[in-house]
Amino acid sequence: MTAIADRRWDRADSALEPLLPLEQALERMLAGLEALEPERVALSEAHDRATAEALTALVTLPPWDNSAMDGFAVRAHDLANATAARPVTLPVVGEVAAGHPPPRAVDPGTAMRILTGAMLPPGADAVVPVEETDAPRGASLLPKRVRIRTSPEPGAFVRRAGSDLQAGAPLVARGTPLRSADLALLAASGHGTVLVHPRPALAVLSTGDELVQPGEPLSPGQIYDSNGVALAAQARWVGAEVSSVVTVGDQLDPLLDAVGRASREAHLLVVSGGVSVGAHDVVKEAFARIGSVDLWRVAVQPGKPLAFGHAVIDGRRLLLFGLPGNPVSSFVTFELFVRPVIRRLAGHADPLARITRSARLGEPVRKDPARRAFLRVMLEPDREDGLIARLAGAQGSHVLSALAAADGLAVVPEGVSSLEAGAQVEVWELEPRIR
- 170 near 54, Cβ under 8 Å? yes
Q: Which is nearer to Mg ion, 177 or 273 (CB)?
A: 273
Element (H, E) at 146: strand 145-148
Q: Which is nearer to Mg ion, 208 or 239 (CB)?
A: 208
* Type of residue numbered 397: S
Q: Which is nearer to Mg ion, 67 or 272 (CB)?
A: 272
375 binds, among Mg ion, ligand AMP, none (CB under 5 to 8 A by kind): none
Which stretches of 314-366 are assigned E, i.e. beta strand?
316-323, 356-361, 365-366
User: Distances in Å between the alpha carbon of 85 and those of 109, 110, 185?
Assistant: 20, 20, 44
324 binds, among Mg ion, ligand AMP, none (CB under 5 to 8 A by kind): ligand AMP
Label residues 193-212 b or e (16+ Cβ within 10 Å = b): ebbbbbbbbbbbbbbbebbe
- 111 near 77, Cβ under 8 Å? no
Contacts 24+ apart (CB under 8 A), 312-315: 313/263, 313/264, 314/264
* Type of residue numbered 266: A
272 binds, among Mg ion, ligand AMP, none (CB under 5 to 8 A by kind): ligand AMP
Q: What is the signed CA dihedral for 289, 20, 303, 320, rounded to 10 degrees?
A: -30
Between CA 412 and CA 425 the distance in angstroms is 7
Q: Identify any residues that bridge with 170 across adjacent strands, giving them in sequence order.
A: 56
Smallest separation, CB 28 to Mg ion (Å): 25
Q: Which is nearer to Mg ion, 264 or 280 (CB)?
A: 280
Q: Which is nearer to Mg ion, 55 or 323 (CB)?
A: 323
The one among 129, 175, 239, 273 contacting Mg ion by CB under 5 A: 273
Smallest separation, CB 254 to ligand AMP (Å): 15
Q: What end-to-end distance do the CA atoms of the chain give, in Å?
A: 34
Q: Identify any residues that bridge with 296 across adjacent strands, giving them in sequence order.
A: 306
223 binds, among ligand AMP, Mg ion, none (CB under 5 to 8 A by kind): ligand AMP
Smallest separation, CB 232 to ligand AMP (Å): 11
Smallest separation, CB 41 to ligand AMP (Å): 35
Q: Which is nearer to ligand AMP, 72 or 331 (CB)?
A: 331
Q: Which is nearer to Mg ion, 249 or 393 (CB)?
A: 249
Q: Identify any residues that bridge with 365 across adjacent strands, giving them in sequence order.
A: 2, 419
Smallest separation, CB 276 to ligand AMP (Å): 5
234 binds, among ligand AMP, Mg ion, none (CB under 5 to 8 A by kind): none
- 290 near 259, Cβ under 8 Å? yes
Smallest separation, CB 171 to Mg ion (Å): 49
Smallest separation, CB 288 to ligand AMP (Å): 17
**Other residues' Cβ atoms within 10 Å of the Cβ of residue 31:** 7
User: If binding is defined by CB under 5 A, does position 305 make contact with Mg ion?
Assistant: no
Smallest separation, CB 215 to ligand AMP (Å): 14
* Order of strands, sheet of 88-96, starting from the edge strand that comes earlier in the sequence: 126-129, 71-74, 111-114, 88-96, 145-148
**Other residues' Cβ atoms within 10 Å of the Cβ of residue 113:** 22
225 binds, among ligand AMP, Mg ion, none (CB under 5 to 8 A by kind): ligand AMP
362 binds, among Mg ion, ligand AMP, none (CB under 5 to 8 A by kind): none
- 244 near 265, Cβ under 8 Å? yes
**Judged by CB under 5 A, which stretch of 7-15, 273-281, 295-303, 340-348 contacts Mg ion?**
273-281
Smallest separation, CB 396 to ligand AMP (Å): 11
Radius of gyration of the chain (CA): 31
The one among 102, 152, 177, 208 contacting Mg ion by CB under 5 A: 208
Task: Name the DSSP letter for residue 276.
Answer: S
Q: Which is nearer to ligand AMP, 227 or 301 (CB)?
A: 227
333 binds, among ligand AMP, Mg ion, none (CB under 5 to 8 A by kind): none
Q: Which is nearer to ligand AMP, 113 or 371 (CB)?
A: 371
Residues forming the site for ligand AMP (CB under 6 A): 206, 208, 210-211, 223, 225-228, 272-274, 276, 278, 324-327
Smallest separation, CB 329 to ligand AMP (Å): 8
Q: Which is nearer to ligand AMP, 263 or 329 (CB)?
A: 329
228 binds, among Mg ion, ligand AMP, none (CB under 5 to 8 A by kind): ligand AMP
For Mg ion, the binding residues (CB under 5 A) are 208, 273-274, 325
